[in-house]
Homo-oligomer: A and B are copies of this chain.
């Protein structure tokens, strides 16, 4: 292994040509009039020396670095973020790009820092991922920058990727309705504040809207709506338990996410009710948890990877629509839905 990296000049020297010729040949330019022999000599030299171009040097001239900045507020806290990153990494790799990943914790100061850091490195574009619901997002990015919003939308940067929560919400209701549930359906985790305040989480608003639309279209009504502020297992447990103490007619639970459903499972077990024979459960996200539960939880999945992938593809696609791109939410059928007993 040579001590120094092989440069274009090395290749040109070995081929007995100028760096200009070598550059044009290696870049496959067709408008060049260089002889077939020159092509062969340069290609051979490059292969023999194991030449690899220096991306930074090239970028200096061409303003293309084959590098994309992926800035998100949170990376590790939720599996959601990793799925997005995973999809983005893979799509980027396939397009010959590489990702500069930064995390901001949602703090505006760090967001600005992150944007500067990636711009300093001449990225070809920025994916801005938002995992936590947030009021608004405003850091200044130079107008010429190629930006895609991931899981968020923003007026200044119209190209965005979002899960198709409206259809997803409808799908969840459809799953229960198709199994024959018409009465005794409870909504777990409905949250009036969120429903009203689209800034807090645009996507969850759509989820609820889809649920309500589909219920209405089928002439169905919830037997109960249990509201809670946070959507952690503990809350699912608490509200479900208190619901079950009051009501004996609950036959299905529509949970706003899998963690609530997880808590609901525990509450159902505590009350001696079996899933799905006594009570069906359906929820959202396809959290890792959902497959661990017994029986497996039927859920409407957040399409993490597809979204991550889409964000990269959009970023690199020059004639994309400057618009929201909705990614379908797959239905993951496991064993938590069953026709009502009575």
Task: Report which A residues bind B (CB closer than 8 A).
Answer: 1, 3, 5, 52-57, 59-60, 65, 67, 70, 75-76, 79, 81-83, 85-86, 89-90, 93, 98-103, 110, 113, 116-122, 140, 142-144, 233, 237, 259, 262, 266, 269, 288-289, 292, 294, 304-305
Contacts and interface: CB of A to CB of B under 8 A. Distances in A.
In the assembly, how many copies of this chain are there?
A: 2
A122 B142 CA distance: 26
B75 A86 contact: yes
Given A54-B122, A75-B82, A122-B56, A102 B89 contact: yes
A101 B101 contact: yes
Nearest to A262: B292
Given A75-B85, A76-B82, A83-B76, A100 B100 contact: yes
Determine chain A's interface SS by DSSP, over half rule. helix
Contacts of A79: 76, 79, 82, 288
Given A118-B98, A120-B54, A292-B233, A103 B86 contact: yes
A310 B53 CA distance: 32
Contacts of A53: 120
A117 B55 CA distance: 9
A81 to B, nearest CB: 7
A156 to B, nearest CB: 12
A293 to B, nearest CB: 9
Contact of A59 (B56, B142, B292): B56
Contacts of A140: 1
Nearest to A292: B233
Contacts of A99: 100-102
Among A3, A116, A120, the one with the most B-chain Cβ atoms within 10 Å of its Cβ is A120
A288 B293 CA distance: 14
A103 B121 contact: no
Given A55-B122, A70-B101, A289-B289, 5 more contacts: A54-B122, A55-B121, A60-B60, A99-B100, A262-B292
Nearest to A142: B1
A3 to B, nearest CB: 7
A93 B102 contact: yes
A116 B52 CA distance: 8
Contacts of A113: 93
A117 B101 contact: no
B56 A121 contact: yes
Nearest to A304: B76
12 contacts: A1-B140, A1-B143, A52-B116, A53-B120, A54-B60, A54-B120, A75-B82, A76-B86, A79-B288, A81-B82, A85-B101, A98-B100
Top 10 nearest A-B pairs (CB, nearest first) are A76-B86, A76-B82, A56-B56, A101-B101, A233-B292, A55-B120, A82-B82, A89-B103, A55-B121, A56-B122
A4 to B, nearest CB: 9
A38 to B, nearest CB: 25
A75 B103 contact: no
A48 to B, nearest CB: 17
